[in-house]
Structure 1
Amino acid sequence: MIDRLIFRHLSFVGEGKAPAHLTFEAGVNVVYGASNTGKSFTLAALKFVLGASTPLPVIEQMEGYTGVLLGIDIPRTGEATLYRAITGGGIRLYRGLYVEMPVDVEARALAPEHDAAREDNLSRLVLMGLGLDGKKIVRNENGEKNSFTLRSLDPFMFVDEGSIIDGRSPILSGQVVAATPEKNALKLLLTGQDDSAVVAVVPAKIKKARREGQRELLEQWIGEIDVQIDALGVTRQELAHQSVRLEDRLNDLGSDLMRRQGRIDHTTQERRRMLDARDRTAAQTREIELTLARFARLMEVYESDIARLGALEQGGHLLLARLDRPCPLCGATAEHHHNDGKRDVDRARAAARAEIARIERERRDLFSTIGLLERDGAGHLVLLRKQRARIAAAERLLAFLRPDESGLRQTYEDRIEKRDALRDQLKLFDERDRLAVQLSQVIGAKPEPKQHLSVGIDGPTGHALAVKIQEVLEAWKFPGTPVVSFDPQSQDIRIAGKERRANGKGVRAVLHSAFKVAVMLVCQERGLPHPGMLVLDTPLLTYREPVKVPRHGDLTTDERALAATTLHEYFYQHLASLADRAQFIIIENSDPPAAVSQGVTVHLFTGVEGDGRMGLFPSIDEAGAGASDLQ
């Protein structure tokens, strides 16, 4: 049996608030839907409850909620519920699964930070269950070591939207100081070997030269940043005030944009319903017209039969009249002439009259039915005109709403760009502070010997990982022949010699996802520890609609080639086939293909109040309901 983590549910709770509850199954889970409904927030919340130091983003829908409950299976611990206040702090562990705050249930207090000397922290609890407790990895070229922590596993458990499309290696955060432990975290997972045996030995001469070089470089960088800061012409405090004001305006614009988009979505859905109703009414009208045409032909048959039978009866009458006359052959009178035909003619006339009466009855019934159908048809025509009028009204409303929403969205995106520019300017001050601290550390550091370390995975391990990534891509039907190799320099993969970062965002997202899935499979096949679960935010970005996801731009050539395939279907099929050994939580903007709906648990966030589930959090009205009112 594979030791792995399994998320069972995520629940936000607060006094007098209905729990914002999201369940997960052990296999593949998909959370998709409209923007700004809490999809990416779900990933942040999962990391937060597991002890991440980054606070939860502050969003309007979270008002009134005070804590988060995470139902989870932990090896050696079993089913448990983790609780953490939204404001942060410590964690409580309850035995069993609870979607609401347990009452009169004993809890175990756990610290969110890793502490190798104590067991009362969540990091060690999870690592002991997975078999990774007590492992060491070096944190720099000097050979200094850190404990392997639950945070070291984050890149192999949680992949947010920014990371999944980034050009950096899937295992690197971009922080220079974190590169060594990040590379060696991958080595520990794929080989089971940590860095406990590493001894820090650094030659003093080389250490001194490096320190001097670091000093010169830091001073140069600080000087370059000072030039940029002087060119800004504003103080740090002024930039901070501008950033706060702009953030407030963005929040207002975001709320307004969400409301307008919700109105457009509602009108679009109403138009779709009217189109469907119109088509049904038109089909029923056509059916009535066809039935009336058939009945008209039947009426013609009735009238023809009556005419024919009337002629037969009239002919019989004339024949009987001639039977009373003398025989034209022998001259005998009627009473002396032997003739049985009169009885036959009488019977034929009687039969004709009876048949005429029957047909007349059926014709009257048919007249009545035709009248009903004609009234029904007239009613359908009236309804059809009304439906067409409502469709036209919805189309006029959409024509009015869409340009207004588009203009507001453009304003929102312009403000986003301005906010990012302000943040980049503020980062100059932060970067200068950071470099100044480093410079003071370099100046005050004592000479130490230097150690040459082998960082990251070796060639054979990199090759084994590349082979598994290639198998995953083949299972997903990645177009072409995906010959995968591992580049030790970049700690990333190449596809047919092409660097992963050289592809479009959507292709990078798919390759990043394959990388993380392959790491999991290699660990499991080698009997090595791995959390056995993976949260991927927008792995199928290639299948985006640029109008709905404008920040990612138009599809590049390689993205268009990938989007033309059915990779997204095989992606879900492959993950579903791993349900007995891994849990996946996929966050997407669009729903999974209908062909792979079986074996996939789907949560749709509509973003529209009253239309299914609005988002991670209930609407304002629903949120005010008591927990007992939640269905």
Structure 2
Amino acid sequence: MSSGRFILRHLAFTGTGVPIARLDFSEQVSFIYGASNTGKSFALAAIDFMMGGSAKELPEIPQRAPYEMVWLGLTLPSGRDVTLSRGVKGGLYALQNGLHVATAESLPTEVLGEKHDLKRDDTLSHLFLAELGLTGRKITKNKSGKTENFTFRQLAPFALINETAIQAPRSPVVSGQRDDTKEQAAFRLLLTGHDDSAIVPVMTVPHFQISKKVKIATVDDLIAGLENEVAVSLASLGGTVADTVSIEARLAEVRETWERAKESLRGHLETKRSLSIEYSGLDARGSDIQVHLERFEQLDQVYVSDMARLEALEEAGFLLSLGGDRDCPLCGAAREAQGKEHGTEDIERQRAAALAEIKKIAELRSDLRAIVAGLEQEHASVEVQLEAVGRQLHVVEANIERASAPAAENETELSALLAQRDSVRHHGQLVEQRRRLEQKREEFGKLKQSRKDQPVLKAPDAALHDFCLTMSGVLKAWKFPGECEVSFDETQYDVKIDGKARKSNGKGVRALTHAAFKIALLLYCRKEGLPHPGFLVLDSPLVAYRDPVKSKKGGALEDDEKVIAASPVREHFFRHLASLSETIQFLVLDNIDPPAGIEQLAKMELFTGNVEEGRFGFFSVSD
């Protein structure tokens, strides 16, 4: 069945020729206590090592030397029992189903990478995050809002709290690094369930300064280039810049004169166009008439030829008709003796037909002469008109020539003025561009990165308020002295208890309240249904109850620690943890003696530090 949380089952070290060093943990509360330097803190470091920590974080104590492998049995949030194994020198992890302290040859082994890689799902970090539903999350890595992938190592400090961290005079959220943005972002992720992927980053301070210098250098280069262009432009203007107002005034005068000249020229050109069209029409008509006259002359010659032929026929017929009743002049035959094929009547008819045709042709010639006369008259008229239009065209062309000269002069002057105006304008634009760049350079020089530009990296007030109420409830459950009013200080990213900064207390109070902070966060996540590993390993949370005589390392108790030491917080601390242990696993490591009756509340493990009495420590030998 899925528990929704990690449950630590056992931690073991194995090696050739040495007994297995093993700790078994209760699913609820485990309390490991006893003498110093017996391996309690080492156990926490080993658990951290098996949950993604580096080899350098695993203390090289003498008792560890003969051991080669580390084994961590645990139940995943999905409910699967697994065992992780890893060499004491670090490196990859081997994972097998079930709980073991040796490799089960019959079971498949999954190899997991030690470092988180977003592109791979065969890493320990990916496995743990996937179990919690936190894969693919982003958190900010600096105050500029730049993000990076969230890893399980950034989550581990909220479940594994070593002695140094629990007593440190700093926020329980941070580790003391120069930039604690990532740790604060991890806290916000746990507190809200939301990552920082929506944050739009701005430039970091170093990047801002570099960007500022680059901008200034770029503008300086542009200004230097413009200085050369301005110098060249000024030289092209003869060293002086004319007044654009006077240039524009002269331009207006010349343009007006030019427009008038163009208008006059335009009128002459229109007249020329009209006359040219008229001349072309007359010339074409004259040519047409000439062609017709030539053709009519040819037709008249045909008429004359036809009439001559017909007149010859008529004359021959007449002559024939005159000698029709006489003897033949050739043979002397009498009229009665002559044989005739055609009678005189036929000859007369042909004569009459010839005369009629001659008359008809004569009438046609008469009509033709009338037409020719009309065409000749029209042709003469066209010639007269052509001469008149030609004279007009000559006059108009002379006018155009006279009007073109001043127009050309005006156009030349206008072009020169326009070129001068454009050069002056270009020079002015260069000077203005230089001025703007100099102004921009001054602005860049004054640039400062404002806090307003920074992204808002803040947990919601409502969530912080509810978290503080949860921590207040934890402290009250422990019978912590005071009213237990908890508030969150955004500037210190830590809490105040009854108005006093948590880190301003002695180390014993800091340790106890650090534990309360982490327990409250776990409870808040459980209440809100937010991801959390679901277990806590606390090293020395009850150091305020140390014996100043026996614990030389701990030193004398400060006044606020004495108040705690005189209170029943220790007993209620364990009672409270036991009351939560149905859904949360606790592993407490400390040097103090347990309060009476704790055996009913927790699984006890005593490290005596004495080879002749009980269990010496994590390892069974002292050296």
TM-based fold match above 0.5: yes
| Alpha-carbon distance, 1:107 to partner | 1.0
SS of the counterpart of 1:47? helix
Distance in 1 (alpha carbons) for counterparts of 2:78 and 2:534: 15
**Would the alpha carbon gap of residues 76 and 572 (structure 1) be closer, same or farther in structure 2, given more than 3 Å must change?**
same
SS of the counterpart of 1:190? helix
User: 1:189 corresponds to which letter in structure 2?
Assistant: L
1:58 maps to: 60
1:11 maps to: 12
Distance in 1 (alpha carbons) for counterparts of 2:500 and 2:155: 28
Unpaired runs of 5+ residues, structure 1, are: 213-446, 622-631
| Alpha-carbon distance, 1:84 to partner | 0.7
Measured against aligned partners, the alpha-carbon deviations of 1:556-595 in whole angstroms (never above 9, x if no partner) come to 1111011001110000000011111111110010232122
1:33 maps to: 34
Q: What are the equivalent positions in structure 2 for 1:100-249 lying under 5 Å apart?
A: 100-177=102-179, 179-202=180-203, 207-208=208-209
| Alpha-carbon distance, 1:610 to partner | 2.5
- TM-score using structure 2 length: 0.60
| Alpha-carbon distance, 1:601 to partner | 0.5
Query: Is the contact made by 1:30 and 1:603 (CA closer than 8 Å) also made in structure 2?
Result: yes
**Would the alpha carbon gap of residues 203 and 46 (structure 1) be closer, same or farther in structure 2, given more than 3 Å must change?**
closer
Query: Is the contact made by 1:94 and 1:105 (CA closer than 8 Å) also made in structure 2?
Result: yes
Query: Is the contact made by 1:32 and 1:590 (CA closer than 8 Å) also made in structure 2?
Result: yes
Distance in 1 (alpha carbons) for counterparts of 2:183 and 2:177: 10
1:92 maps to: 94
Measured against aligned partners, the alpha-carbon deviations of 1:56-87 in whole angstroms (never above 9, x if no partner) come to 11111112110100001112361000001001
Q: What are the equivalent positions in structure 2 for 1:20-419 lying under 5 Å apart?
A: 20-55=21-56, 56-76=58-78, 78-177=80-179, 179-202=180-203, 207-208=208-209
**Would the alpha carbon gap of residues 111 and 205 (structure 1) be closer, same or farther in structure 2, given more than 3 Å must change?**
closer
Query: Is the contact made by 1:203 and 1:449 (CA closer than 8 Å) also made in structure 2?
Result: no
Query: Is the contact made by 1:201 and 1:449 (CA closer than 8 Å) also made in structure 2?
Result: no
User: 1:617 corresponds to which letter in structure 2?
Assistant: F
Distance in 1 (alpha carbons) for counterparts of 2:204 and 2:490: 26
Measured against aligned partners, the alpha-carbon deviations of 1:374-406 in whole angstroms (never above 9, x if no partner) come to xxxxxxxxxxxxxxxxxxxxxxxxxxxxxxxxx
SS of the counterpart of 2:600? coil
Q: Determine if the alignment matches structure 1 residue 490 to structure 2 residue 504.
A: no
2:480 maps to: 478
Distance in 2 (alpha carbons) for counterparts of 1:562 and 1:170: 20
Query: Is the contact made by 1:523 and 1:529 (CA closer than 8 Å) also made in structure 2?
Result: yes
Query: Is the contact made by 1:204 and 1:449 (CA closer than 8 Å) also made in structure 2?
Result: no
SS of the counterpart of 2:541? coil
Distance in 2 (alpha carbons) for counterparts of 1:25 and 1:187: 30
1:229 maps to: none
SS of the counterpart of 1:593? coil
| Alpha-carbon distance, 1:449 to partner | 11
Measured against aligned partners, the alpha-carbon deviations of 1:314-363 in whole angstroms (never above 9, x if no partner) come to xxxxxxxxxxxxxxxxxxxxxxxxxxxxxxxxxxxxxxxxxxxxxxxxxx
**Would the alpha carbon gap of residues 557 and 67 (structure 1) be closer, same or farther in structure 2, given more than 3 Å must change?**
same
* Matching residue within 553, 556, 560 for 1:554: 556
Query: Is the contact made by 1:164 and 1:513 (CA closer than 8 Å) also made in structure 2?
Result: yes
Distance in 2 (alpha carbons) for counterparts of 1:205 and 1:509: 37
Distance in 1 (alpha carbons) for counterparts of 2:211 and 2:482: 47
| Alpha-carbon distance, 1:480 to partner | 2.0
Rg (Cα) greater in structure = 2
Query: Is the contact made by 1:189 and 1:523 (CA closer than 8 Å) also made in structure 2?
Result: yes
| Alpha-carbon distance, 1:106 to partner | 2.2
| Alpha-carbon distance, 1:205 to partner | 11
* Matching residue within 532, 549, 563 for 1:530: 532
| Alpha-carbon distance, 1:204 to partner | 10
Query: Is the contact made by 1:202 and 1:449 (CA closer than 8 Å) also made in structure 2?
Result: no
Query: Is the contact made by 1:572 and 1:592 (CA closer than 8 Å) also made in structure 2?
Result: no
SS of the counterpart of 1:552? coil
| Alpha-carbon distance, 1:2 to partner | 4.9
SS of the counterpart of 2:74? strand
2:392 maps to: none
SS of the counterpart of 1:594? coil
| Alpha-carbon distance, 1:144 to partner | 1.4
1:513 maps to: 515
| Alpha-carbon distance, 1:539 to partner | 0.2
2:436 maps to: none
Distance in 1 (alpha carbons) for counterparts of 2:619 and 2:537: 19
User: 1:33 corresponds to which letter in structure 2?
Assistant: G
User: 1:99 corresponds to which letter in structure 2?
Assistant: V
SS of the counterpart of 2:142? coil
Identity of aligned residues (%): 44
1:589 maps to: 591
**Would the alpha carbon gap of residues 570 and 59 (structure 1) be closer, same or farther in structure 2, given more than 3 Å must change?**
same
- TM-score using structure 1 length: 0.59
SS of the counterpart of 1:551? coil
SS of the counterpart of 1:93? strand
Distance in 1 (alpha carbons) for counterparts of 2:171 and 2:555: 22
1:295 maps to: none
Query: Is the contact made by 2:171 and 2:494 (CA closer than 8 Å) also made in structure 1?
Result: yes
User: 1:49 corresponds to which letter in structure 2?
Assistant: M
Distance in 2 (alpha carbons) for counterparts of 1:153 and 1:205: 29
User: 2:196 corresponds to which letter in structure 1?
Assistant: D
| Alpha-carbon distance, 1:552 to partner | 2.2
Aligned length: 386
Distance in 1 (alpha carbons) for counterparts of 2:193 and 2:77: 18
